[in-house]
């Protein structure tokens, strides 16, 4: 699959036939119309109203106005030549009280979206939960309450019942680690709680929710594939002193194994459960079996790696390539991660369900953003995916995060992840240079790679944080 042209150092990287190229978004980050169509409030609507929670004080009320513009948006995805589109379904649109009555208008919206995608020849890849829990469920103790897992399975059954004839792969949750950790332990995400014990309870109920929904999906859509999307951040200790090694070990278990291990039938990492003093009182007989039914696909979200020190003193050296949110850019970590996952787990297939970067987006030519840095980021990660596939890791697709600039959770609208720019004043969508390049990759099922070029020359070398540190 690799042809080397020795004169130019250009290597042609092609991907396996049928490799899936696409883009990803989520409901709360792009839809807007939060109080339209019978939708109730989600925990994110309430969180946004709380002083100081969102960096720019913004909310999801309008976002990218995708709820009204979905037809044009699907036409744009088609124009870009994407094979698949990952989006999420908003639970508060479907079952506004979390449990009970179904809102037909909500279901109709996703029904139309799926039809629009199929008519355009784009494969719909819905995720059932991308963080927008109905506030009504949070009022009953959110993910700390076991009943939320049961309610999620009922909600999943409603959606699957309506769309199963047109959807071939069902993804239960997006990034359960972030839901439990940022939502219940650090409080940086909705619902903004700060208790380790709550985080542990939430994590178990998220795993259970995946399992219970999985059972319903299997029975309602026996031919569909079952998937979950998990984020992975490879950890390395800052030094080889014991405290740092121990810290990195537990962080790795908590962030990278807490969800995939139980699904693979390996249970929770026991020493880490003890380390964080989790009494495991939430685990009931049979739960671990429910959670470990086989999945068909593991969705991998990858952005960065993390360097861990026990006393939290580690600082990324000045000059390290980073995105505008300060996350280190380290493509080889993705290749390493994929090989490690494939060695450790029995999962039959992988898809990169999110990968991308917020960049400064300051260079504009003929009205279009020349985002060489984002393009390079995506390309260097694709080189890693290509290498992992060559080593035998079954990766079936790659989805860029994100199709659009959008509401980046607690960061608000500051960071721009899109390969398509969104002008929030006019809602105009303007494809960036990376979109054109990525579209070509999808069309050719690969790209020419200059092995002699240094990709990092186009990455921001100095972030605002670097500058501040230098000033000190």
Taking the CA atoms of 7, 11, 12 and 17 in sequence, report the sign of the dihedral they define.
positive
User: Between residues 341 and 399, which has the closer beta carbon with respect to ligand FCB?
Assistant: 399
Contact predicate 184/195, CB 8 Å: yes
Chain-centre distance of CA 391, in angstroms? Answer: 25
CB of 222 vs ligand FCB, minimal distance in Å: 29
Stretch that binds ligand FCB, among 77-85, 171-179, 339-347, 437-445 (CB under 6 A): 171-179
Nearer to ligand FCB, 70 or 409 (CB): 409
Stretch that binds ligand FCB, among 34-42, 150-158, 174-182, 280-288 (CB under 6 A): 174-182
From 282, 354, 380, 421, active-site residue: 354
Helix axes 146-163, 196-220, angle to 10 degrees: 30
Catalytic residue among 175, 255, 282, 372: 175
SS3 state of residue 372: helix
Please tell me whether residue 132 binds ligand FCB under the rule CB under 6 A: no
For ligand FCB, give the closer residue by CB, 38 or 299.
Answer: 299
Contact flag: residue 408 with ligand FCB (CB under 6 A) = yes
Active site residue 354: yes
**Residue 103 makes contact with ligand FCB by CB under 6 A:** no
Alpha helix segments (H runs only) across 226-292: 242-252, 260-263, 270-275, 287-291
Read off the tokens for 171.
């993804």
Segment lying near ligand FCB (by CB under 6 A), choices 116-124, 142-150, 155-163, 170-178: 170-178
User: Smallest gap, in angstroms, from Cβ of residue 318 to ligand FCB?
Assistant: 24
| Nearer CB in complex with ligand FCB: 184/409 | 409
Report the residue number, 175 or 421, with the smaller CB distance to ligand FCB: 175
My answer on whether omega of the bond before 105 falls inside 30° of 0, hence cis, is no
Q: Which tokens is 172 given?
A: 């239960």
Q: Is 370 a catalytic residue?
A: no
Quick one: tokens of 135? 């506030």
Contact with ligand FCB (CB under 6 A) among 175, 244, 261, 361: 175
Q: Which structure tokens are listed for 413?
A: 């609208």
Strands 364-365 and 368-369: antiparallel
Look at the alpha carbons of 434, 440, 444, 448 in this order and tell me if their dihedral is positive or negative.
negative
Applying CB under 6 A, does 401 fall inside the site for ligand FCB? Answer: yes
| Nearest approach, Cβ of residue 302 and ligand FCB (Å) | 10
- Whole-number Cα distances in Å, 330 to 162, 255, 321, 333: 41, 18, 8, 6
Residue 405, interface with ligand FCB (CB under 6 A)? no
Task: List binders of ligand FCB among 282-321 (CB under 6 A).
Answer: 301
Give dist(CA 103, CA 434) in Å, integer.
38
Nearer to ligand FCB, 287 or 354 (CB): 354
CB of 130 to ligand FCB, least distance (A): 6
Measured distance CA(47)–CA(57) in Å, rounded:
11
Q: Does 178 bind ligand FCB (CB under 6 A)?
A: yes
- Shortest separation between residue 404's beta carbon and ligand FCB, angstroms: 11
Which lies closer to ligand FCB via its Cβ, residue 103 or residue 434? 434
What residues contact residue 335 under an 8 Å CB cut-off, 6+ apart? 384, 385, 387, 388
Closest CA to 128 of 112, 142, 149, 144: 149
Burial of 8 (0-12, 13-18, 19+ CB in 10 A): exposed
Nearer to ligand FCB (CB atom), residue 231 or residue 307: 231
Kindly write out the interface string for residues 346-385 of this chain, putting x where it contacts ligand FCB by CB under 6 A and - elsewhere.
Answer: --------x-------------------------------
The answer to whether the CB of 212 falls within 8 A of the CB of 290 is yes
Q: Report how far Cα 326 is from the mean position of its chain's Cα atoms.
A: 18
| CA 320/CA 466 separation, integer angstroms | 9
Q: How far is the CB of 451 from ligand FCB (least distance, A)?
A: 29
Q: Is residue 231 a contact point for ligand FCB (CB under 6 A)?
A: yes
SS3 category, 173: strand
CB neighbour list of residue 354: distance below 8 Å, 6 or more residues apart: 24, 229, 231, 299, 301, 302, 303, 399, 401, 402
> How many chain residues touch ligand FCB (CB under 6 A)?
12
Interface with ligand FCB, residue 133, by CB under 6 A? no
Q: Which stretch binds ligand FCB (CB under 6 A): 34-42, 120-128, 172-180, 425-433?
A: 172-180
* Least spacing, CB of residue 390 vs ligand FCB, in Å: 27
Residues involved in catalysis? 175, 354
Chain residues binding ligand FCB by CB under 6 A are 26, 29, 174-175, 178, 231, 301, 354, 401, 408-409, 417
């Amino acid at each position: 699959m690799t042809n080397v042209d020795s004169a130019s150092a250009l290597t042609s990287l092609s991907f396996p036939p049928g490799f899936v190229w696409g883009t990803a978004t989520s409901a709360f980050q792009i839809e807007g119309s939060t109080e339209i169509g019978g939708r109730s409030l989600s925990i994110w609507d309430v969180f946004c109203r709380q002083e100081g929670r969102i960096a720019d004080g913004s909310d999801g009320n309008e976002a990218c106005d995708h709820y009204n513009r979905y037809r044009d948006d699907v036409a744009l995805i088609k124009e870009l030549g994407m094979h698949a589109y990952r989006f999420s379904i908003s639970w508060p649109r479907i079952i506004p009280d979390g449990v009970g009555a179904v809102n037909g208008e909500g279901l109709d919206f996703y029904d139309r979206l799926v039809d629009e995608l199929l008519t355009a020849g784009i494969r719909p890849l819905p995720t059932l939960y991308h963080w927008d829990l109905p506030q009504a469920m949070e009022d009953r103790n959110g993910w700390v309450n076991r009943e939320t897992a049961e309610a999620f399975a009922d909600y999943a059954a409603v959606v699957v019942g309506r769309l199963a004839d047109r959807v071939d792969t069902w993804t239960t949750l997006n990034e359960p680690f972030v839901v439990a950790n940022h939502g219940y332990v650090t409080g940086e995400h909705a619902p903004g709680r700060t208790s380790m014990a709550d985080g542990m309870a939430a994590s178990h109920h998220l795993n259970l929710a995946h399992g219970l929904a999985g059972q319903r999906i299997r029975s309602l859509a026996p031919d569909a594939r079952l998937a979950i999307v998990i984020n992975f951040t490879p950890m390395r200790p800052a030094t080889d002193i014991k405290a740092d090694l121990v810290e990195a070990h537990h962080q790795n278990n908590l962030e990278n194994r807490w969800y995939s291990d139980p699904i693979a039938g390996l249970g929770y990492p026991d020493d880490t459960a003890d380390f964080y003093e989790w009494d495991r009182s939430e685990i009931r007989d049979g739960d671990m079996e429910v959670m470990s039914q086989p999945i068909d696909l593991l969705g991998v979200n990858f952005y960065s790696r993390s360097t861990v020190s026990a006393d939290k003193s580690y600082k990324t050296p000045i000059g390290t390539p980073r995105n505008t949110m300060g996350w280190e850019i380290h493509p080889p970590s993705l290749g390493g991660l994929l090989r490690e996952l494939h060695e450790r787990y029995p999962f039959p297939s992988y898809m990169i369900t999110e990968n991308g970067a917020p960049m400064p987006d300051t260079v504009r030519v003929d009205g279009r953003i020349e985002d060489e840095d984002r393009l390079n980021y995506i390309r260097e990660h694709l080189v890693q995916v290509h290498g992992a596939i060559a080593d035998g890791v079954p990766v079936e697709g790659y989805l860029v995060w994100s199709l659009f600039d959008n509401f980046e959770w607690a960061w608000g609208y500051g960071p721009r992840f899109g390969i398509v720019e969104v002008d929030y004043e006019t809602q105009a969508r303007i494809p960036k240079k990376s979109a054109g390049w990525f579209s070509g990759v999808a069309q050719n099922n690969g790209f020419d790679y200059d092995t002699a070029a240094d990709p990092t020359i186009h990455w921001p070398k100095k972030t605002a944080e670097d500058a501040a540190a230098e000033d000190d």
